[in-house]
Structure formats: structure tokens, C-alpha cells
Amino acid sequence: MTRPKTISLVVPFYNEGGGVDGFARSISAIAAGLPAYRFEIICIDDGSRDSTLRELLALHQRDPRFTVIELSRNFGKEAAMTAGIDAARGEAVIPIDADLQDPPELIGQMIAQWEQGAEVVLAKRTDRSSDSYLKRQSASLFYRFHNALSGLKIPENVGDFRLMDRVVVDALRQLPERQRFMKGLFAWVGFKTVTLEYSRQAREVGMTKFSGWKLWNFALEGITSFSTVPLRIMTYLGITGTLVTSLYALYIVIRTLLHGVDVPGYASLLVAILFTGSLQLVGMGILGEYVGRIYMESKQRPIYVIRHCHRALASATDSDTTQASTHG
């Protein structure tokens, strides 16, 4: 008798207390409707400060399909997702958020597309009315800006919710970056891709963990991870500024020779100095972003540290109380 294929769900949790049981019920119902597959649900507690870990451990005791990976502190969603993907043992892996905004009901359709030969099945949001106006507009601006600057195109309105074949997961695990922008890494590895559309629902519990400031830094991370165009733009601005300044200097010399020394213009001089100084500071800031990335990558610290892994039939390495990333 053929062994059933395993589907791994990767679910980062951070301060999702009160939503664990609802999430478990939804996923269990989906798994019951797909009896031909074996499900493992890898729940990563990313240093939660509420009851999330306690609820996850209780869930693991009730249902061994739920694996609980406890990180030693809050490393961020990208690192938590990486930890789950590293731990996944299934033939297909599906990252999904615990807030149920990404509908688990889509999992069956994803698996069907995968069985038909797709190696990546994307879930694209067609309706984001549950998000605020500012978040919708900023997301749209980010996608347009990123795809204009980078040779790597990120699909618009596609989040982390997707199905990936084992060959895709193995390719992802070969990427050594410590500063990880997962949407970009997912797109970078490529493979045969199809897209499913869905309407995004409101969160079941809790509030978003991404403030406007975090989203801004996240956008910078994405742009600097996959494009050097900002550096090139500053080079072009510098060349343009040099040419304009040289032409203006030539004009001043010719005007002085023909008409004598004019009264110096304080306002124009101040504007020129302030503009040039601001441009230099912006250029230094952009350069600093890239130097900072080099600095962080050169440390070669692990992406995450596991305090404990609670897994049914755990191997010797899974039972260790402290582990480091396989990338580290």
C-alpha cells in the first residue's frame, strides 16, 4: 500500500493567545476533508509574551500532528518562517498565518494544482477591503516601486501563503542570507508556478504586529536585498550635479569677464549648499543600508535559535533543548 503524501503547514505565532484553538479547529477540519494526505502542522512560537506557547503545548499534547518549535526569543516572522521550513518534512510545504486571514479552505485547491504538476501554487488576494486604506495604498506602492527597481519581480498582492514542492523547499534551504526577505527569496528560486485568487478576510483574533514603521523598514529590506539601483541612482545624480555645477561655474566666469563682479546672492548660495548637503546625506544613508547588510551578513550568526522542539517521535536532534539554524 502506498504511503500517503505528507503536507507540512508552517505557522509562525507571536502573541496569538486566544486564537490557537480556533486555528487548530480550522486546520483539523481541512485535514479531515483530505484523508488521502498526512498533515504535520509546525507551529513556531516566536518569543510570545502571552499565553500562546502554553496553548500550543496543550494543543500538541491533544494532537501530535501539531509540532511546536519554541524559539529562544523573538527573531521576527521571517526567521520564524525559516525555522518552520527547515523543520518541515512533507513532500509539500504551505506557510500560513495563524490569524486565518489567509483561508485554509484554499489548501485543497492548492494540493490539487500541485498534483497536476505545479511546483509552486501562489495565493493572490483580489479583495483587501479588510485592510486599512493606508495599508492597501502603501502595499501597492511598494510592489510598484520594488518591481521597477529590481530585476526580480515580486507578484503583487501575494503574501507568504503558498504551496511549495519539496524541490522548491530544498532550493530555499540552500540560500544562506541572514537578513531574509522571504517574498523575494520565494520569487528568486522560481520553478513552475500557478496562481489561485481569493478574498482576504478580517483577522479572527488579535491585531497586526506590523506598524507603519516596521512596514517601512520591511520595504527597505526588500529593496536593498534584491536591487542595487538606489546606489546607481545616486551615482547618476552625482554625475548630473557635477555637470550642472560645471556649466554654472562656466557661466559665472564668462559673466564676470563681461560684466564685472556682481553682488553675491546669499539666498541662491544658501539653497545650493543645503541642497548639495542634503543630497550627500541621502547618498550616505543609501550607502549605509548596503554596508549595514554586509556587516550583518559577515557576522554569520544563525538565523534563529531553538529553545525546544516538541515533536511526536522526535529524533535525537529534535529533542535537544537548544539548537541553532541549519544555516548557521
| pLDDT, tens only, 110-166 | 999 999 888 989 888 876 665 655 666 666 676 666 566 666 677 777 888 889 999
Would you tell me how many other CB atoms lie within 10 Å of the CB of residue 8? Answer: 24
pLDDT band, very low/low/confident/very high, at 201 (cuts 50, 70, 90): low
Buried b (16+ CB within 10 A) or exposed e, 70-106: bbeebbbbbbbbbbbbbbbebbbbbbbbbbbbbbbeb
So where are the chain's domains? 5-132+157-211+302-324, 229-299
CA-to-CA distance for 247 and 249, rounded, in angstroms? Answer: 5
Longest CA span, the chain: 99
Q: In the predicted model, what is the mean pLDDT of residues 181-194?
A: 83
CA-to-CA distance for 305 and 323, rounded, in angstroms? Answer: 6
CA-to-CA distance for 83 and 42, rounded, in angstroms? Answer: 9
CATH 3.40.50.9100 fits 5-132+157-211+302-324, yes or no: no
Report pLDDT for 324.
41
Report pLDDT for 129.
61
Report pLDDT for 221.
62
% of the chain exceeding 90 in pLDDT: 8
Q: Residues 6 or more apart from 120 whose CB is under 8 A from it?
A: 162, 163, 164, 165, 168, 186, 191, 192, 193, 194
pLDDT digits (tens, 9 = 90+) for 19-37: 888 888 888 888 888 888 9
Would you tell me how many other CB atoms lie within 10 Å of the CB of residue 224? Answer: 20
Report pLDDT for 328.
45
Q: State the pTM of this model.
A: 0.68
Q: In the predicted model, what is the mean pLDDT of residues 196-217?
A: 60
